[in-house]
Amino acid sequence: MKKIICKKEYDTETATLVKKHTVSYYGDPAGYEENLFQTPSGLYFLYVRGGEASPYPNEDILRLAKAKVSDWLESHE
């Protein structure tokens, strides 16, 4: 998936997967996954998707500030 946010491109095809976090199982309406990526230029983003009752009912890319990356990683150990 590719998305432009604030004139910067975030692309799961060209970025490096840092960590994958899955809640529940595939097919669970409340289940979801968050995948942390780093772009070649050093920016971070989350690729998210989930069931219709999850926080991410639609596939999306959310940018993540470098200052928040360590917090996200610690909360998803």
pLDDT recorded at residue 26: 86
Cα–Cα distance, 1 to 5 (Å, whole number): 13
pTM over 0.85: yes
- Please determine, for residue 36, whether its predicted confidence score (pLDDT) is greater than 90: yes
How many Cβ atoms from other residues are within 10 Å of residue 49's Cβ?
16
- Please determine, for residue 69, whether its predicted confidence score (pLDDT) is greater than 90: yes
- Whether residue 1 contacts residue 12, with contact meaning beta carbons closer than 8 Å, is answered with yes
- Please determine, for residue 77, whether its predicted confidence score (pLDDT) is greater than 90: no
For the chain, percent of residues with pLDDT exceeding 90: 94
Structural element, H or E, at residue 32? strand 32-38
CA neighbor of 14 nearest in space, from 56, 61, 50: 61
